[in-house]
């Protein structure tokens, strides 16, 4: 019986590979970009010593990875490569913040190490190099004795990444290397959109309704149980340390709402936990505006940003959950927010570099201030506005901030302080575990009123937001411990308290905690509401608040 079972299993695996080869939806044909001919990657199946180099960037996973699958089908030998690009560890474009801060650098190291372990389990390995990919990959090609060599990679969207792709093609042209790009960043494939990218709607609602009605999400590809071998005598390299990347190590703060590690295995584990082990997905819409703890939101975004989780796999799992257990607005909401992620990718493709301009996508001229002393107070959590300070300290200490926090601190920076939105965008780029270029800059455009479908003069009332979403002050008390002695929601407006109230809590404004750098006139309208409110913060109409990454809800 064991022999029969093994034969049946082998037969099933052969059928899966054939189905993957013949199914156009699962494995779309590669577009060849070779300068000296138009051979497609399938030509690698002819003869021996056809090598496919899989250049990995933000696709650090084995499941639903079309680059690995296509190379494995068509090549004799497959060489997965990840390059730690030194440019990613230098300064941001305008303000020279660390481009990849300590928290995200650690998450990246964990993700690469986890991916290497997975590939080794599949009979392969991950070649790791420190250097610029457009220089490293041609050197790898020269070191191989292959008769024919191909480079396969996942296409990116924004300028810095596209410039590297262009330089790589130029450097490989004289080597006779065929370059192939695949699309795998989004939930909806760009070829399946019901309009060309140049005509992506200027509002999210228009985009969402169109793709939901006229497009489809492709099924995740079926991956082989084993990968083709690496070429012989390849030095796979050592994984670098943070110090070797020029990044100062920062201890993990135990208060973090993201107590997870980087890597595909951990991302898949979180997906399994959030859906199948806890059913938290079923109440996601009611808890998503939370501030404390690991389960108020999915926390999928850091793994999505690094490609450790496939958006199509999440989509498939949510639909399976809806079929096998139950569907409701919360299960839909997870997918609704993933469509927002898609939208920003395609918006950046449509508008290009305009998303980085001071005037943004709309080309709206606004005189932004660049007061670096004021900005320093914002980024360090010393504005004297406790709700803002708590969120900014959480970001700096953990690399995480809730969506509710992100929208508030962004509004405070650009609407209350009047500072250049790019200061905030680049600081987020530096600090966030889940930094995604398109989502980050697209949303800062939106917050600054220069992006897609902006609400004119939209501004968040910091005091009202604090009372609504931290009614007992627990979040502020966690991250601003010098105010912990203030009771309940009194903690949100210390400048309104009497001297005796402050002294009994051990608070001295201007000494133990800063005086507010500003007091907006609208704050007075809500100064007493937080004390009166009872119960949880996430019930009723306040759920219609706009998220920083994912905006207003559809009518259902």
pLDDT digits (tens, 9 = 90+) for 283-303: 999 999 999 999 999 999 999
Cα of 234 vs its chain's centroid, Å: 32
Angle ∠(389,394,398) on CA atoms, nearest 5: 155
Mean pLDDT, rounded, for 427-443: 98
500 is annotated as contributing to ligand binding: no
Token pair for 517: 């750098």
- Look at residue 19 and tell me whether its pLDDT is greater than 60: no
- Neighbouring residues of 276: CB distance < 8 A, sequence distance ≥ 6: 321
344 is annotated as contributing to ligand binding: yes
341 is annotated as contributing to ligand binding: yes
Strands (E), 43-143: 50-56, 77-84, 127-130
Mean pLDDT, rounded, for 273-285: 98
Tell me 153's DSSP state.
E
- Look at residue 281 and tell me whether its pLDDT is greater than 50: yes
- Give the position of tokens 């600090």: 431
- Look at residue 541 and tell me whether its pLDDT is greater than 80: no
153 is annotated as contributing to ligand binding: no
- Look at residue 493 and tell me whether its pLDDT is greater than 60: yes
Token pair for 432: 């966030």
Q: What is this structure's pTM?
A: 0.88
Mean pLDDT, rounded, for 60-69: 98
Q: What would the pLDDT profile of 354-377 be if each residue is shown by its tens digit? A: 999 999 999 999 999 999 999 999
Q: Which residue has the higher pLDDT, 357 or 38?
A: 357
233 is annotated as contributing to ligand binding: no
Distance (Å, whole) CA 194 – CA 222: 26
Distance (Å, whole) CA 479 – CA 482: 9
165 is annotated as contributing to ligand binding: no
Across the chain, what does the average pLDDT equal?
88
Distance (Å, whole) CA 392 – CA 476: 11
339 is annotated as contributing to ligand binding: yes
Q: Which own/partner pairs from 328-332 qualify as long-range (CB within 8 Å, at least 24 positions apart)?
A: 328/282, 328/285, 329/285, 329/556, 330/281, 330/282, 330/283, 330/284, 330/285, 330/286, 331/281, 331/282, 331/284, 332/556
Token pair for 345: 């990718």
Sheet hosting strand 77-84, strand order edge to edge = 31-32, 178-182, 148-154, 50-56, 77-84, 127-130
Angle ∠(210,215,218) on CA atoms, nearest 5: 145
pLDDT at residue 547 in the model: 38
Distance (Å, whole) CA 275 – CA 318: 8
Q: What would the pLDDT profile of 304-343 be if each residue is shown by its tens digit? A: 999 999 999 999 999 999 999 999 999 999 999 999 999 9
- Look at residue 66 and tell me whether its pLDDT is greater than 50: yes
- Look at residue 554 and tell me whether its pLDDT is greater than 60: no
Q: Which residue has the higher pLDDT, 526 or 27?
A: 526
337 is annotated as contributing to ligand binding: yes
298 is annotated as contributing to ligand binding: yes
pLDDT at residue 556 in the model: 38
pLDDT at residue 456 in the model: 59
430 is annotated as contributing to ligand binding: no
114 is annotated as contributing to ligand binding: no
pLDDT at residue 324 in the model: 98
Tell me 192's DSSP state.
G
- Look at residue 13 and tell me whether its pLDDT is greater than 70: no
Radius of gyration (Cα) for the chain, nearest Å?
A: 25
Distance (Å, whole) CA 95 – CA 553: 34
**pLDDT exceeding 70 applies to what percent of the chain?**
85
Place 525 in a pLDDT band, splitting at 50, 70 and 90.
Answer: confident
Q: What would the pLDDT profile of 459-486 be if each residue is shown by its tens digit? A: 999 999 999 999 999 999 999 999 999 9
300 is annotated as contributing to ligand binding: yes
- Look at residue 26 and tell me whether its pLDDT is greater than 90: no
Dihedrals φ, ψ of 3, to 5°? Answer: -65, -45
411 is annotated as contributing to ligand binding: no
Mean pLDDT, rounded, for 216-226: 98
Mean pLDDT, rounded, for 396-405: 98
Place 145 in a pLDDT band, splitting at 50, 70 and 90.
Answer: confident
Please check whether residue 368 is in contact with residue 444, taking contact to mean a CB–CB distance below 8 angstroms: no
CA nearest to 126, candidates 71, 83, 81? 81
pLDDT at residue 146 in the model: 86
Distance (Å, whole) CA 544 – CA 469: 12
Mean pLDDT, rounded, for 499-524: 96
Strands (E), 27-103: 31-32, 50-56, 77-84
- Neighbouring residues of 102: CB distance < 8 A, sequence distance ≥ 6: 242, 247, 248, 249, 250, 399
- Look at residue 17 and tell me whether its pLDDT is greater than 90: no
pLDDT at residue 455 in the model: 62
CA nearest to 508, candidates 519, 490, 494? 494
Q: Helix, strand, or coil here: 50?
A: strand
Dihedrals φ, ψ of 50, to 5°? Answer: -90, 120
- Give the position of tokens 């990919």: 133
Token pair for 320: 């399976």
434 is annotated as contributing to ligand binding: yes
Place 2 in a pLDDT band, splitting at 50, 70 and 90.
Answer: very low
pLDDT at residue 109 in the model: 98
Place 14 in a pLDDT band, splitting at 50, 70 and 90.
Answer: very low
183 is annotated as contributing to ligand binding: no
Distance (Å, whole) CA 488 – CA 546: 25
Lowest mean pLDDT among 38-47, 161-170, 245-254, 444-453: 38-47
Lowest mean pLDDT among 24-38, 127-141, 519-533: 24-38
Q: Which helix (H) or strand (E) holds 207?
A: helix 204-214
Please check whether residue 329 is in contact with residue 285, taking contact to mean a CB–CB distance below 8 angstroms: yes
Mean pLDDT, rounded, for 174-203: 96
- Look at residue 176 and tell me whether its pLDDT is greater than 50: yes
Mean pLDDT, rounded, for 66-95: 97
């Amino acid at each position: 019986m064991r022999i029969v079972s093994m034969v049946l299993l082998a037969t099933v695996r052969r059928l899966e590979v054939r189905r993957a080869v013949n199914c156009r939806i699962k494995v779309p044909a590669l577009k060849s970009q070779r300068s000296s001919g138009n051979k497609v990657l399938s030509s690698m199946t002819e003869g021996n010593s056809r090598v496919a180099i899989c250049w990995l960037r933000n696709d650090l996973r084995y499941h639903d990875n079309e680059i690995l699958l296509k190379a494995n089908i068509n090549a004799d030998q497959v060489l997965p490569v990840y390059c730690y690009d030194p440019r990613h560890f230098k300064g941001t474009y305008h303000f020279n913040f660390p481009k990849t801060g300590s928290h995200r650098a650690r998450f990246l190291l964990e993700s690469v190490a986890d991916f290497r372990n997975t590939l080794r389990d599949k009979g392969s390995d991950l070649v790791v190099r420190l250097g610029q990919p457009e220089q490293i990959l041609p050197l790898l090609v020269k070191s191989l004795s292959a008769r024919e060599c191909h480079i396969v990679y996942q296409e990116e969207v924004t300028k810095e990444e596209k410039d590297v792709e262009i330089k790589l093609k130029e450097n490989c042209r004289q080597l006779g290397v065929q370059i192939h790009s695949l699309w795998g960043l989004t939930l909806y494939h760009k070829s399946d959109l019901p309009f060309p990218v140049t005509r992506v709607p200027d509002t999210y609602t228009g985009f969402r309704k169109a793709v939901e009605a006229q497009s489809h999400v492709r099924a995740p590809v079926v991956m082989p149980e084993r990968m083709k071998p690496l070429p012989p005598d390849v030095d796979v390299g050592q994984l670098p340390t943070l110090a070797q990347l020029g990044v100062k190590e920062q201890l993990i703060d135990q208060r973090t709402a993201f107590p997870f590690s980087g890597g595909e295995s951990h991302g898949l584990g979180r997906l399994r936990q959030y859906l199948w082990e806890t059913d938290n997905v079923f109440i996601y819409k009611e808890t998503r505006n939370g501030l404390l703890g690991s389960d108020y939101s999915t926390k999928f975004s850091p793994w999505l940003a690094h490609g450790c989780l496939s958006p199509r796999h999440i989509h498939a799992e949510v639909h399976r959950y809806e079929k096998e257990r139950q569907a409701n607005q919360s299960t839909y909401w997870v997918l609704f927010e993933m469509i927002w992620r898609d939208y920003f990718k395609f918006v950046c493709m449509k508008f290009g570099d305009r998303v980085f301009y001071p005037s943004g996508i709309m080309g709206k001229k606004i005189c932004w201030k660049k007061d670096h002393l004021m900005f320093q107070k914002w980024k360090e959590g010393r504005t004297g506005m406790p709700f803002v300070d708590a969120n900014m300290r959480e970001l700096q200490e953990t690399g995480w901030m809730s969506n509710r926090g992100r929208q508030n601190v962004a509004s405070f920076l650009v609407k209350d302080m009047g500072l250049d939105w790019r200061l905030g965008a680049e600081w987020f780029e530096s600090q966030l575990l889940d930094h995604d270029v398109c989502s980050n800059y697209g949303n800062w455009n939106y917050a600054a009123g220069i992006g897609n479908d902006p609400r004119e003069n939209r501004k968040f009332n910091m005091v009202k937001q604090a009372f609504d979403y931290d009614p007992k002050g627990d979040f502020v008390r966690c991250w601003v411990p010098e105010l912990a002695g203030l009771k309940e929601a009194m903690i949100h407006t210390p400048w309104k308290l009497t001297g005796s109230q402050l002294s009994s809590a051990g608070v001295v404004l201007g000494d133990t905690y800063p005086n507010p750098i500003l007091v907006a006139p609208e704050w007075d309208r809500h100064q007493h509401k937080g004390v009166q409110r009872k119960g949880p913060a996430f019930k009723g109409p306040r759920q219609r608040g706009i998220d920083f990454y994912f905006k207003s809800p559809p009518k259902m």
